[in-house]
Chain A
Amino acid sequence: MLRILVDRLLTTLPALAGVVVVCFLLTRVLPGDTAAYFAGPAATPQAIEQIRKELGLDRPVPEQFGRYVTELARGDLGQSLTTGQPVLADLKSRLPASAELTLFGLVLALVVALPLGILAAVKQGSLADHLCRIVATAGVSLPVFFTGLLLVYLFYFVLGWSPAPLGRLDSFASAPPTLTGFYLLDSLAAGEVETFRSALAQIALPGLTLAIFALAPIARITRASMLAVLGADFVRTARAAGLSGRKVVITYAFRNAVLPVVTTLGMVFSFLLGANVLVEKVFAWPGVGSYAVEALIASDYAPVQGFVLAMAILYIVLNLLIDLAYGLIDPRVGSAAA
C-alpha cells in the first residue's frame, strides 16, 4: 500500500513542475504593469522605473523564473504587494475558510444528491425521478453568482431569515480558538454554541449556493450508475435469494455503483474550487478565491502563483485520496495494482 502511495506521488511531480512553469509564464504574459499599478496614477515614469527595479521586474524573464524557483524551493511564495504579507501566511489564514465552504457545500450536495439519485433509479419514471431531472437541469443551468444573489435576495432581503452576507461570522461574534481553521468544527470543539450558530448561519447561504451547483452531476451519475448496477446479474441473484429491498439496493447495488460517483466527486470538487471564486465574491467570504481575484486585478503576481500552486496541490492530493478510496471500495483494483 505504501509503495503504491509513493509511486502515485512520484507521478504527480511532472504535473506540479508543469503547473509552476505555466503559471509563471501566464502571469508574465497578462496585460497590466505591476509597477505602474503600485506607483499609483500620479507617479512619474522615474518612480515607476524605480519600483520596477526594486521588484526585479526589469530583469529578463528566465532570470526572474530562476529566482522564483529558488525561492519556491525554500518554501517562500513571495510577498503580496496588496496586503504586504508573505503569500504563504495569507494563504494559510484564508485557505481554511475556502476549504470549509467547499466541503460544506459538497457534503450538503451529497446528502441530497445520493438519496435522490438512488431513489430516481429504483423508482424509474416516478415523481422522484422527475424531481431528480428537474433539480439536475436547474442546477447546471443556473450560474453560481446568480443562485447566490437570488438566495441573498430571498432569504436576507425579502424574508430576513439569514444574516447579512458578510464574512464567516457576524460582527459581534469572535473567531473560535484555531484548531482546524474550520469555524464550525472549532467552535464545537471549544463548546461555543453561540459561535457555532453564528458560523452556521453565515455559511448556510454560500454553502447552499455551491451545493445547488454540485448537486446536478452527483445526482445524475448516481442515478445512471445505479440503473446500470440494478440491471446486473448479481442483483437478480440477490433478489432471487429473497434479500430485503434495502439490502439489495444499498449493500449490493449502491456499493457497486459508488465507483463512478467517487470519480465524479473528484471532478465536482475541482469545479467547486473554481465556482468558489465567484461565491466568495458575492458573500464577502474571506477565502483564497476572492484573495486571488483581487491579486489578479492588481497584477500582483506572487499571490496568483501561490493560489494556483495551492489549488494544484489540493487537486493532486484529492485525486490521490480518490485512488486510494477505489482500492478500499473495490478489491479488484487493489490486486491489479499489486
Chain B
Amino acid sequence: MTTPALLDIRDLTVEFATRRGTVQAVRSVDLAVAKGQTVGIVGESGSGKSVTSYAVMRILDRAGRIADGSVHFSGIDLRAARERQMRDLRGREISMIFQNPRAALNPIRTVGRQIEDVLREHAQAGSGDARRKAIEALEQVRIARAAERYDAYPFELSGGMCQRIVIALALACRPQLLIADEPTTGLDVTTQKAVMDLVRDLTRERGMATILITHDLGLAAAYCDAVTVMEKGRVVETASAEAIFQRPAHPYTRTLMRATPRPGIGLRDLLPEGSAAPMPPSPDPREILLTVRGLSKVYPAKGGGRLFGRRRDPAGEFRAVDDLSFSVLRGESVGLVGESGCGKSTTSSMVMRLLDASAGSIVFKKVELADVPARDFARHPLRPKIQMVFQDPTDSLNPRWTAARAIADPILRFRTVSGAAAIRSRCEELARQVGLPLDLLDRFPHQLSGGQKARVGIARAIAPGPDLVILDEPTAALDVSVQAVVLNLLADLKRELGMSYLFVSHDLHVVRLLCDRVIVMKGGRIVEEGTAADVLERPEAAYTRELIAAIPHPPARSAA
C-alpha cells in the first residue's frame, strides 16, 4: 500500500478468560484501512468480527484482553495508549454505530441531550451552543423537524430513526474512522437502504474511513471497497469487493457465497456442491386447505398511537389488518411478505387462532374457525393440525426442558401417543426426520447450537402431524450457512409429510426459494399476489419494486 494506513492492525490476538480457561476469540488478525476507504468485515456469528472492532476501541469486556499484536491509528499505538488518551480518541477520532439502535441509546435521556453529551465531552460545544450544534447534527442525518426531535426519547422513535440518532452521535465530532457493527440488522430492507446510503454519503462527504461489520455478503458487496472474510477468529481472505465476489479463493468464502440467497437460484444451490439430491418437483396442489375471507383486525384508538405513522380512520382506530382474503392449497407454501408493521404477524396470529379477528372468516379443512374464541381454540379438535415455528429458536424453547421434552410437549398435550416408551420412540422418529442426532435429545437448549435449536423447534411443530405450519421468520436469527440447511430441511419435510406452509418473512429472496406463491402486504392490505417467480421477477406494484430494489445484491458471479 502506497499511502500509510489510517488504521493498521497487525497480528491481533484477543483472549477471553472464561470458566473453562482462556479462549482466543481473535487470532493473528491483520487488517489495514486507508483514509477514505470502506472495508467490510464479513463473517458468521462467533467469527470474531465484532471483537476485533471492540479491541480497536479498547472497549472489550472485563474478561477480554489484547494478548498479542499491535493496533496503530494515525501513528498512535492504541494498545499502549493510556485510558485517558483512548477516551479522547473514542467518539472524536474513531466512532462506532451498533446493532439494535433502540437499545444502543440511553432510554431515559432525550436524544438531543445524548448528542450534547458527546459534543461537550470532546469540547466541540460549550453550554451556549450545545443545543444548536446537537440540532445541526440531527439535521445532518436528515431527521425532519430536528428541533422537535431533540426532546424525544428513544422509545418515541422508530428503529430506523434511532439508528440515525446513533449515527448523528457517532459523527457529531467529525471522526476520521467510523466502525459500523451490523448497523442494519433488524431493520427493514427499505430502512436498511436508507441508513446505509446515509452512512455512505456522509462518510464520503467528509473523507472518512469506514469499517462495515456484517454477516450479509450482499451488503458488504454493495457498500465496501475491500472485504475481509473472517471465520472462527481468523481472517481467511482479504480482497477487493469485486474480486472476492468474482473469484472467491478460500473454500469458506465460497460456502458463504453459495449459502447467500440471491436471484436466479434454487434451494439446493444454497448447499455446498454435490451434497444434496436434486429437489423433486412439488406435487400439483388441488384441494383448498385454508381460505381467509375479509379478515380484519381493528384496534381501538389509544393515547400514544400517534407514533404509528400509519393510516387511521377519523375515529382514531388502528386497522392492523384490513379486509384480507387469500387461500392456501394442500401441499402449497405461501409467503406473506412485508416490512414491520404491515400486519403479517397479526394475520398469522389470527390464522393460528391466538388472536380474535375483528371481522372476516377463516375456513380451515372446511371448518369455520373465526367463530371459535382464541382462548377455546386450544381444546379444538383442529388445533393439532395448525402448528407454528417461531422466529427465535432460543427464546421459543423452555430453557429447563431437554430437546426430547420440548418435542414431546405437543404429543403430551394432544395425547396423540401415550406411554413413556412410545412417546420416546416418536421423539426419536421426529428427530431423525429433522436431522437432529439422537444423542442430542437429552441436551438442554443452551447446550445446542442455533441450527440444532431450530431443528428442535421444527420437530416440535410437526410432532402432532399438522396440515398447516406457520413459519414466522424461522431463519431470521440464523447464520446464512445454517439458514441454507434449515430452508432445505423445511422444503423436504413439506413434501414428505404433505404439509402446507404459511411463511411469514421480510426477506424476499428467502420467500422466493421456499414458496410457491407470494403475498406482499403493506399497511394491513395485500399489495400484490402471485407466483413467487412472477412477483420477484416481474413485480407489478410500485411497492414491490421498491422492496426488491432495496435488497443489496452481491455482484453476479460467473463460477461458484
A→B interface (CB under 8 Å): 124, 232-234, 236-244, 247, 251-252, 255-256, 329-332, 335-336, 338
Least distance between A226 CB and chain B CB atoms (Å): 14
20 additional contacts (CB under 8 A) given A242-B91, A244-B121, A252-B109: A233-B100, A233-B103, A234-B104, A234-B106, A237-B106, A238-B117, A240-B96, A241-B91, A241-B121, A242-B92, A242-B118, A242-B122, A247-B121, A251-B117, A255-B108, A255-B109, A256-B107, A330-B107, A331-B153, A335-B303
Within B58-99, the residues touching A (CB, 8 Å) are: 59, 62, 86-92, 95-96, 98
Query: With a CB–CB cut-off of 8 A, which chain B residues contact A237?
Result: 96, 98, 104-106, 166, 169
A-B contact pairs, 16 of them (CB 8 A): A233-B100, A238-B106, A239-B59, A240-B57, A240-B95, A241-B91, A241-B95, A242-B92, A242-B118, A247-B121, A251-B117, A330-B108, A331-B108, A332-B155, A335-B155, A335-B303
Partner of B90, one of A241, A252, A330: A241
- Contacts A237-B98, A335-B304: A243 and B106 contacting too (C-beta < 8 A)? no
User: Are A242 and B106 in touch, CB under 8 angstroms?
Assistant: no
Least distance between B439 CB and chain A CB atoms (Å): 34
User: Are A241 and B104 in touch, CB under 8 angstroms?
Assistant: no
Within B423-453, the residues touching A (CB, 8 Å) are: none
Looking across the interface, which residue of chain B has its beta carbon closest to that of A252?
B106
Q: Which 3 A-B pairs have the closest CB atoms?
A: A242-B91, A242-B90, A241-B91
Least distance between A93 CB and chain B CB atoms (Å): 42
Least distance between B511 CB and chain A CB atoms (Å): 30
Query: With a CB–CB cut-off of 8 A, which chain A residues contact B104?
Result: 233-234, 236-237
User: Are B98 and A241 in touch, CB under 8 angstroms?
Assistant: no
Asked whether any CB of chain A lies closer than 8 Å to the CB of B520, the reply is no
- Contacts A124-B62, A338-B304: A240 and B117 contacting too (C-beta < 8 A)? no
Asked whether any CB of chain A lies closer than 8 Å to the CB of B170, the reply is yes
In the bound complex, how far is the Cα of B106 from the Cα of A236, in angstroms?
A: 10
- With most chain A CB atoms within 10 A of its CB, the pick from B86, B88, B92, B109 is B109
Query: With a CB–CB cut-off of 8 A, which chain B residues contact A255?
Result: 108-109
Looking across the interface, which residue of chain B has its beta carbon closest to that of A258?
B108
Query: With a CB–CB cut-off of 8 A, which chain B residues contact A252?
Result: 106, 109
Q: How large is the interface on B (under 10, 10 to 19, 20 to 34, 35 or more residues)?
A: 20 to 34
Least distance between B456 CB and chain A CB atoms (Å): 28
In the bound complex, how far is the Cα of B156 from the Cα of A255, in angstroms?
A: 19
B→A interface (CB under 8 Å): 57, 59, 62, 86-92, 95-96, 98, 100, 103-109, 117-118, 121-122, 153, 155-156, 166, 169-170, 303-304
In the bound complex, how far is the Cα of B106 from the Cα of A232, in angstroms?
A: 9
Least distance between B213 CB and chain A CB atoms (Å): 13
In the bound complex, how far is the Cα of B156 from the Cα of A336, in angstroms?
A: 12
User: Are A241 and B170 in touch, CB under 8 angstroms?
Assistant: yes
In the bound complex, how far is the Cα of B113 from the Cα of A255, in angstroms?
A: 14
Looking across the interface, which residue of chain B has its beta carbon closest to that of A337?
B303
Least distance between B179 CB and chain A CB atoms (Å): 8
In the bound complex, how far is the Cα of B301 from the Cα of A52, in angstroms?
A: 63
In the bound complex, how far is the Cα of B510 from the Cα of A264, in angstroms?
A: 49
Looking across the interface, which residue of chain A has its beta carbon closest to that of B86?
A242
- Contacts A247-B121, A338-B303: A240 and B108 contacting too (C-beta < 8 A)? no
Partner of A234, one of B86, B88, B95, B105: B105
User: Are B118 and A241 in touch, CB under 8 angstroms?
Assistant: yes
Query: With a CB–CB cut-off of 8 A, which chain B residues contact A236?
Result: 59, 98, 104
In the bound complex, how far is the Cα of B95 from the Cα of A247, in angstroms?
A: 18
Least distance between B283 CB and chain A CB atoms (Å): 47
Query: With a CB–CB cut-off of 8 A, which chain B residues contact A336?
Result: 304
Query: With a CB–CB cut-off of 8 A, which chain B residues contact A244?
Result: 87, 121
Query: With a CB–CB cut-off of 8 A, which chain B residues contact A232?
Result: 103
Query: With a CB–CB cut-off of 8 A, which chain A residues contact B105?
Result: 234, 237
In the bound complex, how far is the Cα of B303 from the Cα of A204, in angstroms?
A: 50
Least distance between B368 CB and chain A CB atoms (Å): 37
Query: With a CB–CB cut-off of 8 A, which chain B residues contact A241?
Result: 90-91, 95-96, 117-118, 121, 169-170
User: Are A240 and B91 in touch, CB under 8 angstroms?
Assistant: yes
Query: With a CB–CB cut-off of 8 A, which chain A residues contact B303?
Result: 335, 338
Least distance between A138 CB and chain B CB atoms (Å): 27
Partner of B121, one of A124, A242, A332: A242
Query: With a CB–CB cut-off of 8 A, which chain B residues contact A338?
Result: 303-304
User: Are A332 and B62 in touch, CB under 8 angstroms?
Assistant: no
User: Are A256 and B90 in touch, CB under 8 angstroms?
Assistant: no
Partner of B153, one of A239, A242, A332: A332
